[in-house]
Structure 1
């Protein structure tokens, strides 16, 4: 027991660093729980091992992708203040604080550090559980709970290291395996000694070992059906994703097929009340949301509760601000234009700003002025399909069955480098549930000249389906060759500069946070380029 007291004391001190909470060390804390039993570890892991505000910590990464653009927020010409509006006014939160990532600058403000710091805080909690597993106390009747706890800790640690290595190191490739990854910490306490970065190979070895352990434990675990915990399908989804980013096609196929044997659900948007799509409120104040796991059985895991918007840097409208960030829409390569005619996701996943009350001009009385941009609403939550308002808490992240289907389609295509019926069947199953039934046309092998053409289409479907979920677009762009991107930065209503992120740029790899470098002299930063405007 002394060993657990020491470890838990270290953990408490570590949590102080990450949470700033001082209640743990009050002198009168005589009822402080010292974990030793399985059911004593579970509450600690739920509180400190699961990500609480994940989307807020990665929202700025949207700005580094082609899914976001900055520009003029269209103004309502019938608004009383239209003529006197300062069109150059900026949204200080949505535009000002996002300037550095949007321009791919070398240095990004301290808000970017949270992602690194919080993941290592989560890892510390996982380490505590994993280290204690061999000596943990439980009766045979609680073995299912023990296995469940072990599965959660191993899977979560695998996920956090996967997030870190796919943000702060070069993308996985055989050529990059011996290049710097991130710092590996597996101790159950804070260690402030100098610690260098392990290789990408070593980080992935840890990730693969952890997800293998998680899969083993979850098979014999007792699961209560709580969607906020990692079920076997959720762990298989993560395993599928981890394998995809290592181009391990056989493993993507193995885990993906195991997943689909348990959950192959796709929410058919044609079966929903489509009049509620893209609206603030419909008839009788009803709304539609995609991401309520109590309704949408695509969802196998949901995490990151918060009362804040999950899209911190995107402007909602031009009502108050002249310039700001919004989902990209102005070019043929933009996110909004990637949705074809009849794609219900364009309406279901985005709120289109309300039109003016009157016509734009006396010559177009039947054509009301409409704003030309959209705002994501995938994460509106509600307690039921006929709810009159979203819940106060937004559940920021969901893992869904459709990601596994897209992973599988890519694996089938890339493994044999050919257009396969397996991949086409998965794509058609997805699109049948996403396109208006009158617009849907089944894809066949004749639609794709070769495997590369099919792969390109699969990647486009990933973008349309998984937009604004975690940092998936940023992570996908990295593994898909780190393509050239262009962003316009407006300094006034009519003046902008163009910034270009070159293909393969060093700036696709994030800087190690100053909070790490300041105390850890064994760690060194990633080199990033200075990108000048054109």
Structure 2
């Protein structure tokens, strides 16, 4: 056990300050090499799962989208201000959100690579080895999915060409250094994500069904696959992946029986929520009412006004115009995010609606069925009514709006969807002082929709080509 613990500590340090290549070159002490599947399992939990090395995450990213608004004047500007006003990375007085994501996600990917490289060399049953490698494949896919949606153009945008657009470097072996690795194309990164998902889902379906809720599993992997296919515009594949999720787990929480809302003891984002497929992430990734300058920001009027009378989410998901999905103070909680069954319904509904818009009209009612299945659990019986649509565009808007109401503040759903839906213009207001309110604009297809590759990474790797930097934004 001491050898494994020492290995974990050493690897965590090395991954943060150096490359895996250097790590492997310096492995002269054979007693720190993992020799069993259980050792790899501990390594994965200690260094690849986000809840266990979540320090360094930047919750300011949550304020990029149109679900956030600045509430009132206060006498400081922190990290949140720079993300909220979409300033270029070079203006940030503290940690740039894009730089933080790069520095956090790549070490986790490198840990997955170590696990996958060592798996053929360790002792353990086939089931034990497939369990750990299945998790590593799915985690690697998840982290590349986040990276490609932070640092590259959307896959299916009208101005995108995934075969030519620059994505992120694919590092698929613990023997590769980040130095000297050019950016792969968006299409190449998505192909790798799909390949990893396919392998991970297959292996965990065989040998990971008994993993606990804090380990990624084949059903959660299929939900991730539905997200990926949605980004790619592969509507039928998104439907198939979401259907697989729902055929394995279809539980929905009923807000009519939820009782008195209390985010500290009965959170929506919670391992005990019956919808939860996978509970993960650090509380540092979530803005809490008592932390930093978070209390200056609330949910936007546009989001709040989109809820209908009788929608129980307005009292259970929201308190004082803020998200009430997670506890008020990080010290009371151990996770920050979760994959939920409701997303599978929402993804499938939109995919049906997209096929309907393409002329496959039999899918329209299927989309409405999925939306209504979810809404029945969100409204009081007296207020509930089945949705109907007036056409293909109206049906798609209903899908977009329902997903926004259900998943706001969770992961980066809204930001990724705004990118996928055409990168529209957004306006944020900031209370500069007690008498002055300034507006900041993210324009249609603005460069601010794509994070800057960190300067530190560019300095170390001459083959990296940076993204266009947006201009300094001046409030008006």
Give me the TM-score of the superposition, normalised by structure 2.
0.87
Partner of 1:59 in structure 2? 59
Is the CA contact 1:165–1:200 (under 8 Å) kept in the aligned structure 2? yes
Q: Shift in Å at residue 186 of structure 1?
A: 1.3
RMSD between aligned residues: 3.0
Partner of 1:436 in structure 2? 380
Separation in 1, partners of 2:382, 2:276:
27
Partner of 1:209 in structure 2? 195
Separation in 1, partners of 2:285, 2:148:
26
Taking structure 1 as reference, are residues 9 and 337 closer, same or farther at Cα in structure 2, changes over 3 Å only? closer
Range 180-189 or range 462-471, more displaced: 180-189
| SS of equivalent to 1:399 | strand
Partner of 2:177 in structure 1? 191
Taking structure 1 as reference, are residues 201 and 256 closer, same or farther at Cα in structure 2, changes over 3 Å only? same
Give me the TM-score of the superposition, normalised by structure 1.
0.78
Unaligned segments of structure 1, at least 5 residues: 1-6, 20-28, 73-87, 282-286, 353-373, 382-388
Q: Deviations over 1:181-222 (max 9, x none)?
A: 011111214615322111101111111111111111112114
Is the CA contact 1:256–1:405 (under 8 Å) kept in the aligned structure 2? yes
Q: Is 2:420 aligned against 1:420?
A: no
Is the CA contact 2:8–2:43 (under 8 Å) kept in the aligned structure 1? no
Taking structure 1 as reference, are residues 321 and 238 closer, same or farther at Cα in structure 2, changes over 3 Å only? closer
Q: Shift in Å at residue 492 of structure 1?
A: 0.8
Range 508-517 or range 415-424, more displaced: 415-424
Q: Is 2:409 aligned against 1:468?
A: yes
Is the CA contact 1:194–1:522 (under 8 Å) kept in the aligned structure 2? yes
Separation in 1, partners of 2:351, 2:55:
28
Q: Is 2:153 aligned against 1:170?
A: yes
Taking structure 1 as reference, are residues 280 and 505 closer, same or farther at Cα in structure 2, changes over 3 Å only? closer
Q: Shift in Å at residue 288 of structure 1?
A: 3.9
Is the CA contact 1:351–1:376 (under 8 Å) kept in the aligned structure 2? yes
Larger proportion of helix: 2
Partner of 2:251 in structure 1? 265
Aligned positions, number: 451
Is the CA contact 1:55–1:397 (under 8 Å) kept in the aligned structure 2? no
> 4+ runs of 1 displaced by more than 4 Å?
7-13, 29-32, 53-56, 320-323
Q: Is 2:136 aligned against 1:153?
A: yes
Q: Is 2:304 aligned against 1:349?
A: no
Which residue, 303, 315, 334 being the options, matches 2:280? 303
Is the CA contact 2:86–2:442 (under 8 Å) kept in the aligned structure 1? yes
| SS of equivalent to 1:69 | strand
Range 194-203 or range 32-41, more displaced: 32-41
Q: Is 2:335 aligned against 1:395?
A: yes
Q: Shift in Å at residue 54 of structure 1?
A: 5.2
Q: Shift in Å at residue 132 of structure 1?
A: 2.4
| Larger gyration radius, structure 1 or structure 2 | 1
Partner of 1:404 in structure 2? 344
Partner of 1:379 in structure 2? 326
Taking structure 1 as reference, are residues 56 and 347 closer, same or farther at Cα in structure 2, changes over 3 Å only? farther
Separation in 2, partners of 1:212, 1:437:
41
Which residue, 432, 446, 449 being the options, matches 1:505? 446
